[in-house]
Amino acid sequence: MIDEILERVQDGRTTREDALYLASLPSHELFHLADQLRREAVGDTVTYVINRNINFTNSCIGDCAFCAFRSENGYVLSREQILQKVQEGIEKGVTEICIQGGLLRGMMLDDYCEMLESIKSHFAVHIHAFSPMEVFHAARNSALDITDALSALKHSGLDSMPGTAAEILDDSIRRKICPNKISTDQWIEIITTAHRLGIPTTATMLYGHVESLENRVDHILLIRDVQRKTGGFTEFIPLPFMAKNNPLGKVVSRANGIDMRVHALARILLHRHIKNIQASWVKLGRKLAQTMLLCGVNDLGGTLMEEHITKSAGGTSGEYLSPKEFEDIITGVGRIPRRRTTLYELI
């Protein structure tokens, strides 16, 4: 039986039943298989990107139960402050500016577009910005459909998008943890429209709260199905739920947080479809992110320089990881560090 499953894994045709069987393997077997597939897919190179993160506001009309970032008396960065932060990033050699923020009441599509245009008019830098939820918010406030909104954002300088707001792509779970966020179908519609318009995205999964193993497997297989159709995902990033300072954390045990097997399972289920599996150092910490390199991971994300979302939820890994620290982490497990662009071209 295991031989047949491994054959389907190799062909990128792993079934749900296969996935649940694989998820029941002892950890050392699961990690060994994931590590083998990682080597086949991308070799021993481990990538990272020099980027700057900008969270332009923490005011938000949303009410996600896992969120510790939103604030009643929040800040909103001015255009000058945003440009200043981009300038600081450029001075540190960034190739990417990553922008996400809360959902400001009354923020129109034009406001999002002007933010992009003002950055692009000053700096030649890749802009990786706005979650599918933010795109939905901009389109809804401006009474536009998703295609028109994304076309306008692309025209204004949007180069790629974070595939955040995915959480767990199952509406029964979404009703519990983020009832007023876009539905599973809406997330898929926005992502597939972005891919159709030539806007690549990442894919994420927020795990370790109220979801089951089956929910995790279904989420990863759904991402695989989208990738089969569009080819627009650059990487998959499992994100452990951080339990501090949010309502969901009060009802979910902290021990449910980080599960190293999720990265390994993602590597196995996405084999032949998504080459890059990322460990988020800001969520996991440096040591655990390094350990993940032995469990199917080949990318460590970005330098960030500034990070509020994880920090608000109890993350203690800091806000900046220097290129030297990335290189030490990667060479520390005998792998080859390489800088990359957002779209995984090696630098």
Residue among 54, 67, 125, 199 that touches ligand SF4 (CB under 6 A): 67
Residue among 6, 12, 25, 62 that touches ligand SF4 (CB under 6 A): 62
- 190 binding ligand SF4? (CB under 6 A): no
* Shortest distance (Å) from residue 160 CB to ligand SF4: 19
- Burial of 190: CB neighbours in 10 Å, binned 0-12, 13-18, 19+: buried
* Shortest distance (Å) from residue 9 CB to ligand SF4: 34
* Shortest distance (Å) from residue 304 CB to ligand SF4: 17
301: tokens are 């994300």
Residue 170 C-beta-side C-alpha neighbours within 13 Å:
19
Question: What Rg, from alpha-carbon coordinates, does the chain have?
Answer: 19
Four-residue CA torsion sign, 75, 205, 140, 342: positive
User: Which residues, at least 6 apart from 208, have a Cβ–Cβ distance to it below 8 Å?
Assistant: 240, 241, 252, 256, 257, 258, 259
Site track for ligand SF4 across 75-114, x = CB under 6 A: ---------------------------xx-----------
Please count the residues of this chain forming the interface with ligand SF4, following the rule CB under 6 A. 10
- 70 binding ligand SF4? (CB under 6 A): yes
**Of 205, 209, 290, residue with least CA distance to 255:** 209
* Shortest distance (Å) from residue 102 CB to ligand SF4: 4
- 133 binding ligand SF4? (CB under 6 A): yes
Q: DSSP string of 276-312?
A: -BB--HHHH-HHHHHHHTTTT--EEEE--S---HHHH
Residue among 31, 69, 130, 236 that touches ligand SF4 (CB under 6 A): 69
Closer by beta carbon to ligand SF4, 63 or else 225 = 63
* Shortest distance (Å) from residue 70 CB to ligand SF4: 4
- Burial of 80: CB neighbours in 10 Å, binned 0-12, 13-18, 19+: exposed
- 248 binding ligand SF4? (CB under 6 A): no
Query: Where does this chain touch ligand SF4 (CB under 6 A) — which range of 17-25, 62-70, 89-97, 108-116?
Result: 62-70
Question: CA-CA distance, 143 to 125, in Å (whole number)?
Answer: 30
Residue among 64, 99, 173, 177 that touches ligand SF4 (CB under 6 A): 64
- Burial of 168: CB neighbours in 10 Å, binned 0-12, 13-18, 19+: buried
**Of 234, 236, 216, 241, residue with least CA distance to 278:** 236
* Shortest distance (Å) from residue 257 CB to ligand SF4: 17
* Shortest distance (Å) from residue 218 CB to ligand SF4: 22
**Interface with ligand SF4 (CB under 6 A):** 60, 62-64, 67, 69-70, 102-103, 133
